[in-house]
Amino acid sequence: MTQRSRLAPPKACAMMEALRGLGYSTAAALADVVDNSVSAVASEVRLRFDWDGANSRISILDDGRGMSDQSPHVAAGSAVRRLTPTECERLQGFPDGWTAIPWRNKPESECPDGPRYKAIGNSKAVPVVRWIGERLLSNLAMFKNELGLPNG
């Protein structure tokens, strides 16, 4: 992947706080950026998470065709569509329809989007939780071995 970059540091903290008040989460923002990469015909999208307290950051790199240097750095007059509940479920690692539940005496097929978005927003991404659990078990086994304790 050929790397070209342009420094355009946003005021991410202030922006995310404002958007969070509108119900826009960090996960939704990342999904939007990845969706933009796919729209730009990217065949590879890399996400890098650097955790360092207040200096933590997320970097996103793709090989899509982006704006030229003559293009404005901010796309004007465009909007990002809202993800459907099914797309959100998939991003979180849930099967399609996972959050479609009976709602106010109506069948699950009539469950409105609002409660589904709320359920997804209050959940944890299944692959991430699985990865954390596997890492914990791996480190616990390593720790037990170092202390000479039996595994199990």
Average pLDDT over residues 53-72: 70
Residue 72's pLDDT is 45
Query: For the chain, percent helix, then strand, then coil, each to nearest 5?
Result: 45, 10, 45
pLDDT grade, residue 33 (50/70/90)?
confident
CA distances (Å), origin 11, targets 17, 50, 145: 10, 17, 46
Stretch (H or E) spanning 137: helix 126-147
- Taking 80 as the threshold, does the pLDDT of residue 98 lie above it? yes
Residue 75's pLDDT is 46
- Taking 70 as the threshold, does the pLDDT of residue 6 lie above it? no
Residue 7's pLDDT is 61
Q: How far does Cα 124 stand from its chain's mean position?
A: 11
Is the pTM for the entire model greater than 0.75?
A: no
Domain ranges of the chain: 9-64+77-81, 83-152
Closest CA to 103 of 112, 91, 95: 112
Structure tokens at 65: 């065709």
